[in-house]
Structure 1
């Protein structure tokens, strides 16, 4: 009962969050006029002027000794004193999972590396978490906080998850058993997805026991049901799974990071059912979506029913990945009021720049999404990609909604498509506006299926001339 009451109160707090003011001073509709109001609510936490070096509690900087207990003791001492900074000085420190507490800044000095064990046994016992939008009991994330306020991870140091094809990433293999004595990751994932579709009234996520032997890899950083979060400055390498995944959080700042991680499902930053989020000045070079906004999967997401909303993304660089800025696919709780500006996306290994993915099993309402001043170099597929047929397609009863998307001042240099938009006849994509944009080096015609209201104003699409077919000479 306590758990259910906590979730109801959390949901109510998000719903009560003030919506941005979309009206300009002159009275004309101006979505971007709401951005200062959102930013006014996003404030980085401050901390007492107390410092607790982990070396004082026995941490060793040789990268070989286990510093897990020393880090835990430093966090406990700092929390008992009312908060402050837990300092990781220069050196390499080997550790298991780190659980942050309120009013603590985990600060990595320049030259400091936290090197995380890649042995799954170190991330037991199970804790309450979300995995691909479904709540369960699973491995601890590498850095985790639950129900805390005023927490931070800062500094010029490095977080290295040490994931490799022979350790964490091997769990992804969906075709065969690459971890001796354990089932392939697909078995665990399929079971969890079936549980996500059970009737809402019978669901109890704490009875979904995974962890050891089940092969659902943990995210790197996951604050869960927390407020006032700052993640700033650090470099993140070799994550087991999603790298930064705040869930049911409010007032989140992700700033000035370098994220380089090319494993399976290595999304860069996935705010999930969060409100008032700022992601800025981040360099993404990832094995999956650079940024993917989410809000829960299928019936389990509808049970929690908290959207992601009031999210600002600016001044970021996206290199490799499946999508630059993506919304979905775990989006059953909906998403609204997203503002993306002044970002650069460019790589032959970046599939799409702006991506929306959902289906009739996910459902969810995605609305009020705004992009401006986006520079795209090369992408492999489409610059703007919307697909309601992602994975399960139209097989479900929860038709998705995508409406009110505005793209302004976008340029691209090379892509297969400028626009690839596929909605449903019974639920068309609606109100897509593109202004003052140029798409160069486009290889194929636009795909617009079941789109109701596509407006292009001062838009140029410059096709690449088709390559001439070379006739093969007949032998003899």
Structure 2
């Protein structure tokens, strides 16, 4: 090679070297704050709230950075994330939630008081954020809420039938209040005192790779998105005593633009749910490629908790909100009493004092497709119901297979289901433990319904039809294939 040709190459190499040397190294870019440098002790006994909070506050004051929790068991009360701070739990690191109420701080929620109205609710958590931006909780470490431990937080039934409970206010594991640009990644959460993760009014969120085990105290939800918008959630495994994944609208704010994919949801109540509280509505929701199953955990604390998952998919509007634009697809569910529970009701709860009673809500443009339901029992049929004069509109059920236990005689069917439109929404709201008029789908007050490629199999002969429709308008039925061990008339229409 000539000297003339080699000079340009040499200049390029020198330029590339200069550019690379001008770029900061990863260690120079990362501002790390190790909690042990601020006095934290990982002996599972020392209360480290002040030391860890000092590391967070220092990181925020210096423009942001990563607060490192090293291997060890670090007891703490409420920690408040600040702008531009990442809390990172290394492998082998555990944050232990204190079991004493005095170690927690409580935010008075002036925006969404809660499902039952009354005075402003107070919310708390181990990891908290109050109207902050660009925050993260990451790492392969563990957050252990020590659920059910300590008299300050222990829930227990007050009556033999479980109708009344002692349920004190309890901290969540993660409680973020009106935060933006949130990343929750790879964290494992055990034994929350109440819900594991509650995000209230948060926007622009990414939740990925989270694992939750919640079976040690009452109301053990997994992840609750409450009036949140622009959220992507993926690759999570949630095993819960209560609802695994739930969208709520406890205030006037809608859940909008939510995508969930590639998750496993195990529950003893409901695996995938929108509603219960629905003053706010649910718009543009996509849930795809998930497995739903019953939790295999024993009944840890609650003898009234059922063993099988109650509902696989529950969509509810009962407090005046609007549901518009929901697609749920590619789900395999196993051992659910009611694979589908879809309810438009008129309970009309006030989410806080001083607001008007909401008018009836709306549910429309819902598509559920490519679903396999295995080991479905007789406890409840899948029900899809509005109430008189108020219809669920534009509903499509497509490519759905239901395997059902069967074995019910016509004489054992509870055929005249009351409306109960003002009742709390759940599969047994029409009559607890009754045999409903169909074994696969019971539909009432639905307009513009499509049933396409619906198939069933029965373990035992069942004298009920597969589908029972009452006040269903403009239905389109095609490619329906029901087990011949069902009633001779497989589809019943009632005006």
**1:398 corresponds to:** 359
Shift in Å at residue 219 of structure 1? Answer: 2.3
CA RMSD, aligned part only? 2.7
- Give the stretch that moved more between structures: 165-174 or 450-459: 165-174
Preserved contact between residue 48 and residue 84 of structure 1 (Cα < 8 Å): no
- Richer in helix (by share): 1
Q: Distance in 1 between matches of 2:99 and 2:256?
A: 34
Q: CA deviation at 1:169?
A: 5.1
Where does the alignment leave 5 or more consecutive residues of structure 1 unmatched? 1-46, 177-182, 187-214, 469-476
Structure-1 residue corresponding to 2:50: 69
| 1:54 and 2:10 correspond | no
**Kindly tell me: are residues 253 and 397 of structure 1, through their superposed partners in 2, closer, same or farther at Cα, counting changes over 3 Å?**
closer
Partner of residue 342 from structure 2, selected from 386, 390, 393: 386
C-alpha distance in structure 2 between counterparts of 1:142 and 1:248, whole Å: 18
SS at match of 2:59: helix
Match of 1:254 among 183, 207, 219: 207
The normalised TM-score by structure 2 is 0.71
Whether 1:408 and 2:369 are equivalent positions in the alignment is yes
Give CA-to-partner distance per residue, 1:235-288, whole Å, 9 cap, x none.
111112222111111111111011001132111111111111111111111111
In structure 2, distance between residues paired with 1:132 and 1:164: 23
Task: Indicate the residue corresponding to 1:204 in structure 2.
Answer: none
Q: Distance in 2 between matches of 1:137 and 1:435?
A: 41
1:269 aligns with 2:223: yes
Tell me the distance in 2 between the aligned counterparts of 1:93 and 1:148.
24
2:263–2:290 Cα contact (<8 Å) kept: yes
Question: What is the CA distance between 1:49 and its match in structure 2?
Answer: 0.9
SS in structure 1 opposite 2:313? strand
Hey, what's the Cα distance between the residues in 2 that align with 1:383 and 1:99? 39
Which range is displaced more, 310-319 or 320-329? 320-329
Which among 230, 233, 238 is matched to residue 186 of structure 2?
233
SS in 2 for 1:217: coil
Q: Secondary structure at the match of 1:270?
A: strand
2:315 equivalent among 341, 352, 356:
356
Aligned equivalent of 1:223? 176
Task: After TM superposition, give the deviation of residue 357 of structure 1 in Å.
Answer: 2.9
1:334 equivalent among 272, 281, 287: 281
Greater length-normalized contact order (CA 8 Å, ≥ 6 residues apart): 1
Q: Report which of the two structures shows the higher radius of gyration computed on alpha carbons.
A: 2
Match of 1:156 in 2: 140
Change (3 A) 1:341 1:453: same
Q: Distance in 2 between matches of 1:448 and 1:139?
A: 38
Output the CA distance in 2 between the equivalents of 1:257 and 1:463.
37
Which of 72, 78, 81 pairs up with 1:91?
Answer: 72
Q: Name which of structure 1's ranges 116-125 and 426-435 shifts more when overlaid on structure 2.
A: 116-125
Which whole-Å CA distance do the structure 2 matches of 1:271 and 1:125 have between them?
19
- Which of 83, 86, 99 is residue 105 of structure 1 equivalent to? 86
Counterpart-to-counterpart distance in 2, 1:363 and 1:136: 20
Of 312, 315, 332, which residue of structure 2 is paired with 1:375?
Answer: 332
What runs of 5+ residues in structure 2 fail to find an aligned partner? 1-27, 295-306, 350-356, 407-438, 464-495
Q: Point out the structure with the larger strand share.
A: 2
* Counterparts of residues 8-27 of structure 1 (less than 5 Å): none
Report the alpha carbon displacement of residue 131 of structure 1 after superposing the two structures with TM.
Answer: 6.1
2-structure distance, mates of 1:269, 1:391 = 24
- Which residue of structure 2 aligns with residue 420 of structure 1? 383
Using the TM superposition, name which of 279-288 and 120-129 deviates more.
120-129
CA-CA distance at 1:463 after TM superposition:
2.9
Q: What are the Cα deviations for residues 397-434 of structure 1, in whole angstroms up to 9, with x where unaligned?
A: 62121111101111111214663112111212122101
Structure 1 SS opposite 2:124: coil
* 1:144 aligned to which of 128, 137, 156: 128
1:80 correspondence with 2:27? no
Distance in 2 (alpha carbons) for counterparts of 1:345 and 1:433: 20
When normalised by structure 1's length, the TM-score is 0.74
> In structure 2, what is the equivalent of residue 118 of structure 1?
99
The structural deviation recorded for 1:437 is 2.0
Could you tell me how far apart the structure 2 residues matched to 1:168 and 1:427 are? 44
CA contact (8 A) 1:109 1:155 kept: yes
CA distance in 1, matches of 2:381, 2:121: 42
Q: Give yes or no for contact 1:75–1:101 (8 Å, CA) kept in 2.
A: yes
Q: Is the Cα–Cα contact under 8 Å of residues 171 and 216 in structure 1 kept in the other structure?
A: no
Deviates further, 129-138 or 406-415: 129-138
- CA 1:166–1:90 in structure 2 vs 1: closer, same or farther (change >3 Å)? closer
| Structure 2 residue aligned with 1:30 | none
Deviations 1:295-352 (A, max 9, x none): 12xxxx2xxx221010001000011231111001111111111001000011253211
Q: CA deviation at 1:166?
A: 5.3
Q: For the structure 1 residues 168 and 126, does the alpha-carbon distance in structure 2 shift closer, same or farther, using more than 3 Å as the test? A: same
The 8 Å contact of residues 100 and 150 in structure 2, kept in 1 or not, is answered as: no
1:450 aligns with 2:397: no
